[in-house]
Amino acid sequence: MHAMPSSLDLIFRQAIIPSQDQPVDIGISAGRISAISPRIVADAPEIVLDGRAVLPGFVDSHVHLDKACLLGRCGHSHGGLADAIAAVAAMKRDFTVDDVYERGARVIEKAIAKGTTWMRTHVEVDPRAGLRSLKAIKALKAAYAWGLELSICVFPQEGLTNDPGTEELLVAALRDGADLLGGCPYTDSDPLAQIDRLFTLAGRFDVDLDFHLDFDLDPSWMHLDEICRQAERRGYQGRVAIGHVTKLSMVEPASLARIGQRLAEAGVAVTVLPATDLYLMGREASHAVPRGLAPAHRLVEQGVVCSVASNNILNPFTPFGDGSLLRMANFYANVAQIGPDGFQRCLDLVTTLPARLMNLDDYGIAIGNPADLIVLDAPTGRDALAEIAEPIMGFRGGRQSFARPAAVLFGPARPSRHTL
């Protein structure tokens, strides 16, 4: 037993945490974890979890809040990547601050209730969208800080060097509260120039970088090498992420191992977006359709920091989504044919690994860290992944942020017993 002063604000009892096989108690004080022990003796409010799994909150490292929930207004047939970009481009001129706020709030509230406590959202900035979406996302960041920490990545969806006025708007956005800078070289008329310019801007403002990259199924050429080269040349190891990278689904194992080693050496992280990548890739095939899913679990074996994230929700890029990262991790495991021995790695792809990608220094269930925790209706995290078990409660800084009581079944009433 572990004696604690009576200053504890809350005790979770009989919790199963990732580093322990047996239930433990978790003591919370002033919004942080102050004790982890088989038994805490203290006079404080308590929640008895009966051996349920407790995880640090999920980390969604790649979302697009500004263009979420557009189904029903786009008249789009949900075709390939170019069609999706064009469909949103036609709409975003009419995006208003209130419109972006309302749609983004819908996704954030779903995500909080599914256990997400950190989120990085990409926000389009160009002469069509202006800074309206950024203004809305900044307001969301402040309004929902009680439930999750929102990081804002501004980027040029339709090109930089070919889109006059975009660079000036990116600079204005970085001066106005954006947290980091993104890119999309494959839409630029000069992809290498875009990469170089964005690294220069990131260094100027001392912010991290997150690129949409190599988003097709032709592995004969990649921009990945240039990103790695620039990261090393600029001293940006550990501060660069690349998303999608679906080309990696088409390379043979030896090449993948070499690429993984290169990414690890350059400190470039990879985010896989299963829902979007599978929905958009391989549409030209009539049969034997390629999956288009970069093998994050294989890259992790090479020392690459990887994550699995939501990307788009209910729009032309991805007409699905409920904000559940546990569902996304399960989906990834299913498509990548990962068995039970890899379930913990898949959980890592939505917890500890994206926390490293986002450079979150105080993430995880450890004494001194913020009490940002979720309780799952399953005995272990691995069981939760296999069953897509619902989070039944969550806490942000020790304060409860949501509750979803476990299901209760009501079977037929037993027939009354009659005496003959």
Locate 219 and state its tokens: 């592995």
Q: What pLDDT, on a 0 to 100 scale, did the predictor assign at position 76?
A: 58
| pLDDT greater than 50 at residue 1 | no
For residues 120-139, give the mean pLDDT.
97
For residues 260-278, give the mean pLDDT.
98
Please name the residues in contact with 134: beta carbons below 8 A apart, sequence gap of 6 or more. 123, 125, 152, 154, 173, 176, 177, 178
Q: How many residues does the chain have?
A: 420
Q: What are the backbone angles phi and psi of residue 165, rounded to the nearest 5°? A: 95, -15
Question: Whole-angstrom Cα distance, residue 364 to residue 414?
Answer: 47
Tokens 């290498």, residue located? 192
Question: Coil, strand or helix: which one is 3?
Answer: strand
| pLDDT greater than 60 at residue 212 | yes
pLDDT tens, 37-50? Answer: 999 999 999 999 99
Question: What is the average pLDDT value for the chain, to the nearest integer?
Answer: 94
H or E segment at 16?
strand 10-16
| pLDDT greater than 50 at residue 92 | yes
Using 50, 70 and 90 to split pLDDT, how confident is the model at 2? Answer: very low
Using 50, 70 and 90 to split pLDDT, how confident is the model at 109? Answer: very high
For residues 395-413, give the mean pLDDT.
94
Q: What pLDDT, on a 0 to 100 scale, did the predictor assign at position 137?
A: 98
